[in-house]
Structure 1
């Protein structure tokens, strides 16, 4: 079962829906059907949503692999929480006018550190399971 992954994926999906509604709201407000129409706030919202969509799938896949391979719940939960925190900080940094690049960078550091940690955890745990 993927209980921890399910919780993490559900939380991340809620965040993605919120980011998507922000894009939709700004499209309606600015009467833009495609692209950003030159509106900086809409461009930031689009990029925040797209950046989220670019990084989250690999993270969730790696979290699920770790859980499916029998890693302890806490070893699955910690990177999941870290990924959620990183994405929230990044989104806040991107969507607070003017953009707060320190939060954006911190959010990306959390995200990259988490993805790198998940790669290392998956490789280590898989090799450990093969050896045992």
Structure 2
């Protein structure tokens, strides 16, 4: 079953992740630290932006894909996908700077959590309906 909405946002988020990866690589070669962060704050920030992305994006993309498979509305799926994309870019910008750009970091974190909760509840509701728990 094709999942074009999920594919669109997975591809866009994959490009963001590649960019975050390149920032870590640049930081590693710039500092000569190949493992950990060597107490370099810039490298630490790049590693955490990359890691935080990797911690949240997969589960949310899985939820969006499941929602698409369960025939959630295209509008909701695009809202979730676009929200996740904006949230992760904001968070990455906010956490990567010294000092933090707190509005970007905090806004990105809050928006990510909102997308996670909304996607979870939407998929849960559709799944319960599909297995006739909610009728």
TM-score normalised by the shorter chain: which range applies? Answer: over 0.9
In the alignment, structure 1 segments of 5+ residues that lack a partner are: none
By how many angstroms is 1:37 displaced? 0.9
Tell me if the contact between 2:45 and 2:97 (Cα under 8 Å) persists in the aligned partners: no
Instruction: Spell out, residue by residue over 1:10-61, the C-alpha distance to the aligned partner (whole angstroms, 9 max, x if none).
Output: 0110000000000000100111111111110000000010000000010000
Instruction: Measure the CA separation in 1 of the matches of 2:37 and 2:5.
Output: 37
What is the match of residue 42 of structure 2?
Answer: 41
Q: Following superposition of structure 1 onto structure 2, how do residues 107-126 of structure 1 map, counting pairs within 5 Å?
A: 107-126=108-127
What is the match of residue 25 of structure 2?
Answer: 24
By how many angstroms is 1:130 displaced? 4.2
Tell me if the contact between 2:6 and 2:68 (Cα under 8 Å) persists in the aligned partners: yes
The total of aligned residue pairs comes to: 132
TM-score, structure 2 normalization: 0.92
What is the match of residue 104 of structure 2?
Answer: 103
In the alignment, structure 2 segments of 5+ residues that lack a partner are: none
By how many angstroms is 1:128 displaced? 3.6
Of residues 22-31 and 71-80 in structure 1, the stretch that sits farther from structure 2 once superposed is 71-80
What is the match of residue 93 of structure 1?
Answer: 94
TM-score, structure 1 normalization: 0.94
Instruction: Measure the CA separation in 1 of the matches of 2:27 and 2:110.
Output: 28
